[in-house]
């Protein structure tokens, strides 16, 4: 077993995390970690999954006695966990009950462009949109969130986002924890900024616009610093960084074995023992943590730096699991399968953010790709004249990241070297520090118009996004 060395260790620099004066709601209670409910399938047809999602306004009491307005899917904040299996036909009816337009994007689900829920699939206030697609990929923990032009960051910040769990034969047959909310625990990590009176605020400084919104409090599943009892044994965690801009370098505060089992796009080949978990916005990771060496009643915290934002109390012995020697088949894509290399340079901050010198224009297709082909996308972050500013602020960490829709990729290299172990699985989002270059290899399987962008949501909204068209075949002409 190898321990992996997180290349970005020094980069998860925390700032602005201040002690709070108020008490988070029900702070005395154990098991106040909200577990997003699994949405009920409205269809009884085999292999058919139907969900209805209402995008709505609500209120959340983050601190005792202080109710603040939030947004949610079928609730006050965040959304239900949607589930589907490989091969299923999925139909999702979305009702927009907000007074502003929205979209619902399936981040990490590989669907044709018109079902992707990006900026082209606008849902006006009071209107409905139905997405219909077939799950055509391996088991993975993915998510859904709004993706309107210039409104993604605020809508996610005020509460919109949810988990989507994809299963397949492999995930159903592996002997790993799979009791949702008991030993298979969703962990949606977000940071938000609260004033001393408990009010939630957004974009209060120039820095928020430059680097993206950083909060002063970390929430899990919509609750501040919650707690949960877990079985004394092996527990599976599905971690999603749904923060607007903050990256995390997570670890447990007690020495326990943790194993990486899945990255953004699903299982890796075999578990890898790790001691830190790095997540930039939009990224997911699945781990198995083994609490069996901890005494019943003891507390283990998940921490970022030394900020313990999620506490686990070790309960009774759980089911007997072992770390499986193998997880799934993993077919490495090799460099020689690539048909073309494209370069993407991410630069600027604030309103100057751009990719290859351009800002998002919904009427412009930036790249045209042929379906079925494999390409290498060489993505780099270059701060240029802004570099001084980052260094001056001591904030030389993940400055941008890169996410592509409609495709999963493998990382061939980071700065000419093999990627870190936690970046060797299927990915759809990748972190970049100033000066980093990553080579991503991907095969295009679905046609239509897709986005690529920085997943620091204020950067995305400020135009750090482009569009690529996946065409059926040259001879058949454009799809648009």
311 binds ligand C2O (CB under 6 A): no
Query: Binds 400, which of ligand C2O, Cu ion, none (CB < 5 to 8 A, cut-off by type)?
Result: Cu ion
Of the candidate residues 282, 318, 448, 463, the single one contacting ligand C2O (CB under 6 A) = 282
Question: Which listed option, Cu ion, ligand C2O, none, makes contact with residue 142 (CB within 5 to 8 Å by class)?
Answer: none
Q: Which of 50, 83, 86, 147 binds ligand C2O (CB under 6 A)?
A: 147
Q: Among ligand C2O, Cu ion, none, what does residue 456 contact (CB within 5–8 Å per kind)?
A: Cu ion
| Contact between 459 and ligand C2O per CB under 6 A | no
Phi then psi for residue 388, to 5 deg, are -55, -40
- Residue whose C-beta lies closest to ligand C2O: 107
Residue window 243-272: x/- pattern of binding to ligand C2O, with contact defined by CB under 6 A: ------------------------------
Q: Is 427 in the site for ligand C2O (CB under 6 A)?
A: no
Our finding on whether 463 is near ligand C2O (CB under 6 A) is no
Nearer to Cu ion, 161 or 318 (CB): 161
| Residue 447 makes contact with ligand C2O by CB under 6 A | no
> Of the candidates 142, 144, 114, 119, which has an alpha carbon nearest to the alpha carbon of residue 130?
114
Residue 145 makes contact with ligand C2O by CB under 6 A:
yes
Q: Which of 50, 83, 107, 459 is in the footprint of ligand C2O by CB under 6 A? A: 107
- Residue 459 burial (CB < 10 Å; 0-12/13-18/19+)? buried
| Minimum distance of ligand C2O from residue 22's CB (angstroms) | 31
Contact status: 105 vs ligand C2O (CB under 6 A)? yes
* Six token digits for residue 299: 């507390």
The count of C-alpha atoms lying within 13 angstroms of the C-alpha of 123, restricted to the half-sphere facing its C-beta, is 28
Per-residue contact flags (x/-) with Cu ion for residues 388 to 417, judged by CB under 5 A = ------------x----x------------
User: Is residue 83 at the binding interface for ligand C2O, with CB under 6 A as the rule?
Assistant: no
The residues that touch Cu ion, with contacts defined as CB under 5 A, are 107, 400, 405, 454, 456, 459
The residues that touch ligand C2O, with contacts defined as CB under 6 A, are 105, 107, 145, 147, 282, 403, 405, 451, 453, 455
């Amino acid at each position: 077993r190898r321990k992996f060395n997180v290349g970005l260790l020094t980069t998860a620099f925390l700032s602005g995390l201040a002690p709070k004066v108020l008490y988070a709601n029900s702070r005395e209670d154990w098991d106040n970690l909200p577990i997003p409910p699994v949405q009920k399938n409205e269809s009884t047809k085999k292999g058919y999954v139907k969900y209805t999602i209402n995008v709505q306004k609500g209120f959340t009491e983050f601190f005792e006695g202080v109710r603040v307005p939030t947004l949610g899917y079928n609730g006050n904040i965040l959304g239900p966990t949607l589930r589907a299996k490989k091969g299923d036909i999925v139909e999702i009816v979305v009702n927009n009950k907000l007074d502003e337009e929205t979209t619902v994007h399936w981040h990490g689900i590989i669907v044709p462009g018109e079902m992707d829920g990006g900026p082209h699939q606008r849902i006006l206030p009071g209107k409905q949109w139905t997405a219909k697609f077939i799950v055509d990929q391996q088991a993975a923990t993915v998510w859904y969130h709004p993706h309107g032009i210039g409104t993604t960051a605020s809508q996610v910040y005020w509460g919109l986002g949810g988990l989507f769990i994809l299963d397949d034969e492999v995930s159903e047959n592996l002997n790993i924890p799979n009791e949702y909310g008991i030993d298979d625990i969703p962990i949606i990590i977000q940071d938000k900024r609260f004033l001393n009176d408990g009010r939630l605020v957004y974009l209060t400084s120039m820095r928020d616009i430059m680097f993206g919104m950083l909060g002063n409090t970390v929430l899990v599943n919509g609750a501040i610093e919650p707690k949960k009892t877990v079985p004394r044994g092996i527990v599976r965690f599905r971690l999603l960084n749904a923060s607007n801009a903050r990256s995390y370098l997570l670890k447990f505060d007690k020495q326990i074995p943790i194993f990486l089992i899945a990255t953004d796009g699903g299982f890796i080949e075999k578990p890898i023992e790790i001691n830190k978990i790095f997540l930039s916005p939009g990224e997911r990771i699945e781990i198995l943590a083994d609490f069996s060496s901890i005494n019943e009643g003891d507390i283990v915290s998940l921490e970022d730096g030394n900020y313990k934002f999620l506490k686990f109390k070790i309960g009774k012995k759980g089911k007997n699991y072992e770390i499986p020697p193998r997880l799934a088949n993993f077919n490495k894509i090799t460099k020689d399968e690539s048909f073309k290399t494209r370069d993407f340079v991410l630069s600027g901050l604030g309103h100057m953010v751009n990719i290859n010198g351009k800002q998002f224009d919904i009427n412009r297709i930036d790249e045209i790709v042929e379906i079925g082909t494999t390409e290498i996308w060489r993505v780099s972050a270059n701060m240029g004249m802004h570099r001084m500013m980052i260094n001056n602020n001591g904030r030389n960490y993940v400055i941008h990241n890169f996410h592509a829709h409609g495709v999963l990729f493998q990382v061939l290299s980071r700065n000419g070297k093999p990627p870190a172990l936690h970046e060797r699985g299927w990915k759809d989002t990748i972190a970049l520090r100033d000066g980093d270059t990553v080579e991503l290899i991907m095969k295009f399987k679905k046609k239509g118009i897709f986005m690529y962008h920085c997943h620091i949501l204020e950067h995305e909204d400020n135009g750090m996004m482009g569009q690529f068209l996946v065409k059926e075949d040259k001879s058949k002409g454009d799809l648009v």
